[in-house]
Amino acid sequence: MIKKNLKIFISFILILCALALPIVNAAEQNQEATPISTETTNEDGEANDTSTGNEATEQTDVENTQNTATTEESFKQGDVYLTGTDVTVDYIVDGNLFIVANNVTISSQIGGDAFIFANSVTVTETGYVFSNLFTTATNVDVRGVAYDLYAVSDTINITGYVYRDIRVSCNTLNVNGTVGRNAFVNCSTINFSQPAEVSEDTSTTIASQGIISGDLNYTSKQEVSIPDGAVEGNINFNKEEILSANNIQAYLLSLGSFLVLTIVIWLLILWLAPKFNEKATNLATKKILPIIGLGILTPILLLVVSVVLLLINITASVAGLIFILWIALIIASKSIFVIVANKLICNKLKIEKTIGIFGILIVSSIVVWALGLIPYVGTLISIIAVVLGLGALVASIVLKDKKETIKEDK
């Protein structure tokens, strides 16, 4: 996916540069050559420049090229992928933003979603994420605006504005700005900024109050003191469960079951459909939107068909089979997502030996399973994994990649 979008982006830059170059059309010329520029001397002996219009045209073309370069520096169309130590996004991105870095600063407008893995993430006062901000970082500081915030972090500071919901898991949450709707939080401490008390010598208040306009749903080891007026909706507190021997056993059993299921499906794919991994990864890098659509529509369609058949007495048994198939696909789709993602990772790392692929598969399975345990955020990750896994499975059956089309043409 990254390579494909990178190729599209580079092609887009080359096209713009090509359009910026001066284009000269050949015309019928006289046998006598016409000079581009001539100099005449006036009565005082000073040189007069009598250049033709070609130089003015060339100057205009240079200016257009410079303007195009300036536009490219301040505006990026399509998805943008960035890595580095310190990354600053100070130009408009008309698409999604993907960043893996140490320190990330966003001080411009992001038209789509922002996916950021970093040590620290800062959305400055001039930063504006028009869609969702997904991030895993040690420190997250939102001073500007984001539509929705999904974060796993140690410390999260909201001094700006989040238009809708926040779904975060952190140690400390500082609400010094505004959350426009609901907050779903797993944390140890929640702090709200409060208006400064007006002294005898001061007639104005400088400090503002942190506000959650909707409900606050939070999980913590102990109940947190919430200032009056800080939450306009309901406050729902769930006490964090302390790990016990039974809980640890349940987690290990869940992880073991997921690992076994993923390994069994992987072995079945290698045996029954050895070309599935290659085809699914090719489709995942080139046709991600159809995969997402199939992942959403397939379970809905199967459920509707099973209900319709259930209403007809003759086809009730068929409806039962389709419903069982629906459940099996939902259960297996998360493992299929891990298998496809594992193939992409191995291709990126150039791992070709079976033992290496198997090892990365184990690690990938543990990571996806662990991410699914994160309160609030984990539910979203699991849903995305199910949709992409099911979409990849169905797409590999109903869609054809470019390689298959070339083989059929031959």
Average pLDDT over residues 54-60: 51
Whether pLDDT at 69 is above 70: no
Residue 103's H or E segment, with its range, is: strand 97-106
Q: How far apart are CA 188 and CA 130, in angstroms?
A: 29
Higher pLDDT, 78 or 68: 78
pLDDT digit string, tens, across residues 313-335: 788 788 888 888 889 999 999 99
Q: What pLDDT is recorded for position 262?
A: 94
pLDDT band of 61, cuts 50, 70, 90: low
Q: Which residue has the tokens 């503002």?
A: 208
Whether pLDDT at 286 is above 90: no
Q: What pLDDT is recorded for position 114?
A: 93
Higher pLDDT, 244 or 295: 295
pLDDT digit string, tens, across residues 186-217: 888 899 987 655 444 444 444 467 899 999 99
Average pLDDT over residues 331-345: 92
Q: Cβ distance 175 to 140 under 8 Å?
A: no
Q: Which residues have CB under 8 Å from 80's CB, separation 6+? A: 9, 89, 93, 95, 96, 97, 98
Q: Which residues have CB under 8 Å from 355's CB, separation 6+? A: none
Mean pLDDT for the chain overall? 79
pLDDT band of 20, cuts 50, 70, 90: very low
Average pLDDT over residues 389-397: 91
Q: Any idea where the domains of the chain sit in the sequence?
A: 1-17+50-74, 78-196+207-239, 245-409
Q: What pLDDT is recorded for position 277?
A: 85
Q: Residue 297 has what DSSP assignment? A: H
pLDDT band of 25, cuts 50, 70, 90: very low
